[in-house]
A and B are shown apart, each in its own frame.
Chain A
Amino acid sequence: MKKIVLTGNPNVGKSLLFSRITRTGLVTANYAGTTVSTSRGHFIYASTEHEIIDGPGMYSLEDSSRTDEIARQLLDDADVILQVIDATNLERNLGLTCQLMHLQKPMVVCLNYWEDTRHKGITIDVKALSDLLGVPVVPVSALRSEGIPELMAAVTEACPGSLCVRPEERWNYIGEILSRVQQLRHRHHTVLERAGDFVMHPLGGILTAVMVLFTTLLVVRSMGEGMIDVLFSPFYEDIYSPWIHRMVASLPSEVMRSLLVGTSADPLQSFGVLTSGLYIALVQVFPYFFSFYFVFGLLEDFGYLPRLAVVLDRFFHRLGLHGYSSIPVMLGLGCKVPAFMATRSLTNRREKILTMSLILMSVPCLSQSAMIVSLGMRYHPVVIVLIYGLLLLLAVGTNSVLNRVYPRGETPEFIVEFPPFRMPSVRLMGTKLRVRIVEYFAEVLPMIGIGVLAMNVLDALGVLRFFTRLIERPIETVLGLPPEMAPILLMNFLRKDASVALLVPLHLDAGQFVIAVIFLVLSMPCVATLFTLVREAGWRAALMILGVVFCVATAASALLHGMLTLLV
């Protein structure tokens, strides 16, 4: 079985092509650095099975980040290299082609975004390019699924390239190739290109960023609330809840009934696996999850995120980072796990550590945010503003201090490629949303189930009472919170949204709610986040980050409790 490795510059459509060839769904986006790990798939062509591997993009064969390292390692094991090239940017992409030819492996060049060459007034002589490179060259439109069979046929004819250029002559030689194979026609700017220019204007960029962030918040909130009110809440209350209670009522065991549906009629207080577990995951969190990833997916596919990174660059400079760190931080608004993985594209370890600390501290993940907003509204909207304001303040303050004390190495350079603005494809958006929804339910339902089950078992064994006795005094004295917070801290490690929901039966006042939420958000990560943090940063750095964040959480919560005690 031949091993085919997809490679190429970042954001040339490798993952989309992989999805088209293997007929699987991958999360794709219109900015460089979307793929940070490898995906493997298979396809059969001419009765032969092939393995195809999609890896992170690379600008050159020299390693400068973890993703470059992964991409480089994949090439060593490849039987055939399938280089994907952005046909609208032939010159820069051929730089990598020259380097790949030195590996002397069978190769095929795929000219992706072929449909865009016509719009941009670019004509490429494919036959002449193939003759000059000495390898098959196939024009493809992965977006429209055009040219895929021809590409698969070309893979069987792959051969090592004939191009052998010394590095110092590379760009002159590429210039010569372009003059022979490419013709450019003058054309006027399209509406999307004019929009791109406006977004890059110093004032236009700031204005757009403010509008985009405001609109995102508005759409996520109203769309999420709308889905809860019209769809999910009526479904749960009128259809699901009566049905599940009827089903469970026939069970003979009181313990089993209590475990499955709890004892209270309020789904947030009953804490049964099939009532609270499903209510939190489906009614309270999922609508916001859906609306957030719908809006975020639009921004990703439109190509706006790298432009926002440029606008935020100066702010991130004050935290010892560059604007590109804003993309992992924005991903962290949804879930910390992909956010930590996205830090792989950062070139410098210092930058990675500071970005990870910022991701952990700046905002809760989407699931927890949904619960905070939902419960915070029971007190007053100011409570929610206060929580987010304090979290932002603590994140900026902590990162400023870390920036001063963390040893400085070589300063990373900020170079970002802007993808062209593209109208998002409904089909791609749908695939991306489907992949994220499946991942969400695959993770959230078992975790909440395990969490509720573990709580009940620990309670039956007396572990919770022991743990509660152990930390009730510090929690009461330092944070001013009731001792029943102890099991909630355990749940916080499994599911952060469920832990916030568990605050309901404690009947906290507004001040206590703010302290409890800040402590729950910051004091510890959930189990999935912890393992990802350790994998990406290593044990030592992960413990250092978690230690700092825990100390900040305790100090801030204690200080807040002290201030509220003095005021009241």
Chain B
Amino acid sequence: MVRNFLGKKFREPGPQARDEREARALIHLKNGTAAVVTELKLSDAAMARLEAMGIVVGADLVKKTAALAHGPVVIRRGSTDYAIGYELASEIYVRPLSASTRGKA
């Protein structure tokens, strides 16, 4: 435990907690941002379909755009673009890549 400048105690986030804090659902990722997949909260069938396209935990991708009114999210994985339904995209968690680690997706 550490204290802030007002003397209030708080728990210092560990490295893993900091990663989790930064991770967000794909739908909340800014357009044009490269990110790495951190978690897939999906059914086995959906997981299998994404896995076959190489969208697995640890995979790099770029969110290109999203259709209006909760429409599909468009991502680039490797050299291919995919549209992923809004519901599915809301269960894919990603962490934005910093500028130094970008360029792999």
Contacts and interface: CB of A to CB of B under 8 A. Distances in A.
A59 B49 CA distance: 8
A414 B72 contact: yes
B83 A59 contact: no
Interface string A138-156: 0000000000000000000
A55 interface: no
B43 A416 contact: no
Contact of B52 (A96, A202, A416): A96
16 contacts: A59-B53, A62-B48, A89-B78, A91-B78, A92-B53, A196-B81, A200-B83, A202-B71, A310-B67, A313-B67, A314-B68, A410-B45, A411-B87, A414-B88, A415-B50, A415-B82
5 A-B pairs with the lowest CB-CB distances in the bound complex, closest first: A414-B85, A59-B52, A60-B52, A418-B81, A416-B83
A322 B80 CA distance: 21
Contact of B79 (A88, A196, A206): A88
A95 B54 contact: yes
B19 interface: no
Contacts of A347: 45
B41 to A, nearest CB: 13
B68 A310 contact: no
Interface of B: 42-43, 45-46, 48-54, 56, 58-59, 64-72, 74, 77-85, 87-88
A418 B80 contact: yes
B77 A171 contact: no
Interface in A403-434: 410-411, 413-418
B45 A314 contact: no
Given A92-B54, A310-B72, A413-B88, 8 more contacts: A59-B53, A91-B78, A171-B54, A202-B67, A202-B71, A309-B83, A310-B83, A414-B87
A95 B52 contact: yes
Contacts of B49: 59, 64, 413, 415
A60 B79 contact: no
A3 interface: no
B10 to A, nearest CB: 38
Contact of B85 (A60, A64, A92, A322): A322
Contact of A200 (B45, B65, B77): B65
A60 B43 CA distance: 17
A313 B82 contact: no
B22 to A, nearest CB: 23
A323 B73 CA distance: 13
